[in-house]
Structure 1
Amino acid sequence: MTTRTVSKASWIYTVVSLLMVCVFLFPIYWMVATAVKPATEIFANPPKLIPTNVDFTVWQTRIFENPRVLRYFVNSLILGFGTTFLTLALAAPASYGIAKLPIRGKSFLLSISLVSLMFPAIMLALPFFVMFSRIGLTDSYAGLILANTALALPFAIIVLRPFFLAIPNELTAAAQIDGCTPFGAFVRVVLPLATPGLFTAAVFTFLFGWSDLVFALSLTTEESMRPVTAGLWNFIGSNVTQWNAVMAFSTLAMLPPLAVFLVAQRYVVAGLTAGAVKE
């Protein structure tokens, strides 16, 4: 293959890649553009790709001056970080035990984790509602965090297991020779070495907690306990919907997960690369 042919092929791949990126990013652009359009431009025919009259009125009246919006975001942050901390606290020792400890039935436990990922949240919503209503966990952060953790935990175990498999047993043995207990070796030696995997699992479990809608609707009845995903329904009316307000709220709801991913991006990329190798 000549240099000219290789150069032409690389240009074709570049153009195709740019087109695919534009296709994936266009809905996000349309959301942001609609958030600053007046109602006349939103329903214009043909649609206007670029806003000609930028209008931030809905941002002020429906978003920044609405006290419920701040409450939605506070609830989502509590649920997101609470789900992350609880999931990692349970998944790290569980995945380490499956990877390193001589436990009977490890293959069965791993299979159960894989199978549980196939269950949609709606299948668990009714059982959780029945259980939580009897023990007083509906309309509470604890109930929502536990429900989200039930979905995120199997995924976190599967993500973390390859990282613990890649850590040599000699390191934990050396730590125990120096006086560490098995748990101390796990905390002081194993967990720091598995930092990329922990960040990878943390980002995805945060997204589990932030983006949940099924449990947010089924386990809460009080408006003050609802997160961003459930609060978005208040902007959609039965007869008339103010779409610029819906898109403004959606744009604002996109920022915290984006910020979390950008902060942990370096660790997430390293974690996904390391976890791709089968031991």
Structure 2
Amino acid sequence: MNSLLKVNNKYFTTVIAVISTIIFLFPVYWMVTTSIKPMSGILSTTPQIIPREIQFQAYVKNFIQDTEILRFFLNSVIIATGSMILTLLFASPFSYALARLELKGRGWMIGFLLVVQMLPNIMLALPFFILFSKLHLLNNFISLIIANATLSMPFAILVLRPFFMSIPKGLEEAAVIDGCNRFTAFWKIVLPLAKPGLLTVGSFCFLHAWGDLLFALILTTDKSVRPLTVHLYTFVGQYGTDWNSLMAVATVCVIPIIIIFIAFQKHIVGGLASGSVK
């Protein structure tokens, strides 16, 4: 009887997992199919779950005939990569200090980071605009990189701190005995051991900056520095929406996210689980 209940629970869990996966992936499926439907199929009164006619005109129009979109794609890569590097550059030593040093008010710092992490992006939009306008950094990659890195910093510090705490102090002490100073021990011993945490944080910081729209709209007006997310809004007009092109570009915009999760899935899942437990 117990074995039968276990089998039934296993099948029930599998069915629930399959249904949940279908529900979560259906918007992605609908986005891809919409990009290859003709406009008549998109605006049909009866929704076409399976496209009756397939065409790739939207992809040819936006990626072959008009190569301007490649510039927006490159802008997104520059902003996301720069934000990720800047976040790791500052979050790593800060989280290491919170994990290793007996800092006065350390608990208050961690609580402050938790509160800041919950603040909505819109609260920082106007201060950033005023700051960067006075520094003459509007319409500049630097402003977008700094803005996105600032928002990612609390999350990065809170996730990396448990990884540094889990690394035995004896390894650093042994490195110091062998002639290393604290910075060298941090760089050559601690950081390589915290690789899962760095990959986890780096991936999420990249994806956060990749999907940013608010700062890109507020801090830029020049098309030469605007990312792909802003370009998507050019397909939405006052009297209608070019759904084919919008969904085709959105599909390509999602590809880097899929690649990152496939490539670093093991590290991301393991890093989040390890960091949450420790």
TM-score range, shorter chain: over 0.9
- Which residue number corresponds to residue 118 of structure 1? 118
Measure the CA separation in 2 of the matches of 1:238 and 1:259.
34
Moved more, 210-219 or 3-12: 3-12
Residues 157-194 of structure 1 deviation map (CA, whole Å, 9 limit, x = unaligned): 00100000101111101100000010000000000100
In structure 2, the partner of 1:267 is 267
**Distance in structure 2 (CA, Å) of the matches to 1:125 and 1:33:** 35
Q: Distance in 2 between matches of 1:56 and 1:181?
A: 59
Give the superposition deviation at 1:45: 2.1
**1:190 aligns to what?**
190
CA displacement 1:78-125 (0-9 Å, x = unmatched): 011000000000000000000001211111111111111111111111
1:165 corresponds to? 165
Cα deviation digits, residues 189-208 of structure 1 (max 9, x gap): 00010000000000000011
Determine helix, strand or coil for the equivalent of 1:175: helix
Structure 1, 199-208 or 254-263: larger mean CA deviation: 254-263
User: What is the aligned partner in structure 2 of residue 37 from structure 1?
Assistant: 37
Partner of 2:109: 109
**Structure 1 segment 150-229 matched on structure 2, within 5 A:** 150-229=150-229
Asked if structure 2 preserves the Cα contact closer than 8 Å seen for 1:63 and 1:245, the reply is no
Deviation at 1:252, TM superposition (A): 0.4
Deviation at 1:8, TM superposition (A): 1.5
- Counterpart in the other structure of 2:133: 133
Q: Is the Cα–Cα contact under 8 Å of residues 132 and 143 in structure 1 kept in the other structure? A: yes
In the alignment, does 2:243 pair up with 1:243?
yes
- How far does residue 273 in structure 1 lie from its aligned partner after superposition? 2.0
| Superimposed CA distance per residue, residues 218-276 of structure 1 (whole angstroms, 9 cap, x where no aligned partner) | 00011111101111101111112111111101000000122122222221122112112
CA–CA separation in structure 2 for the residues paired with 1:206 and 1:102: 31
Over the matched positions of the two proteins, sequence identity in percent amounts to 44
Instruction: Return the alpha-carbon distance in structure 2 between the equivalents of residues 56 and 198 of structure 1.
Output: 39
The separation in 1 between residues aligned to 2:137 and 2:249, in whole angstroms, is 28
Q: 3-state SS of the aligned residue for 1:225?
A: coil
Aligned residues: 278
SS, match of residue 207 in structure 2: helix
Large movers: runs of 4+ above 4 Å: none
Contact kept, 8 Å, 1:96 with 1:164, in 2: the verdict is yes
State the distance in 1 between where 2:261 and 2:7 align.
34
Q: Which runs of 5+ in 2 are unaligned?
A: none
- The residue aligned with 2:11 is 11
Distance 1:67 1:5 in 2: 59
Residue range with higher mean Cα deviation, 174-183 or 41-50 = 41-50
Q: Give the match's secondary structure for 1:102.
A: coil
Contact 1:196 1:270 in 2 (8 A): yes
TM-score by length of 1: 0.97
C-alpha displacement at 1:60, in angstroms? 0.8
State the partner residue of 2:57.
Answer: 57
Question: Mean alpha-carbon deviation: is it higher for 197-206 or for 263-272?
Answer: 263-272
Cα distance between partner residues in 1 of 2:103 and 2:4: 58
For residue 47 of structure 1, what is the aligned residue in structure 2? 47
Distance 1:134 1:187 in 2: 36
State the superposition RMSD in angstroms.
Answer: 1.0
User: Aligned partners of 1:97, 1:200: CA distance in 2, in Å?
Assistant: 19
My pick for the range that moved more, 2-11 or 32-41, is: 2-11
Q: Offset of 1:67 from its aligned partner?
A: 2.8
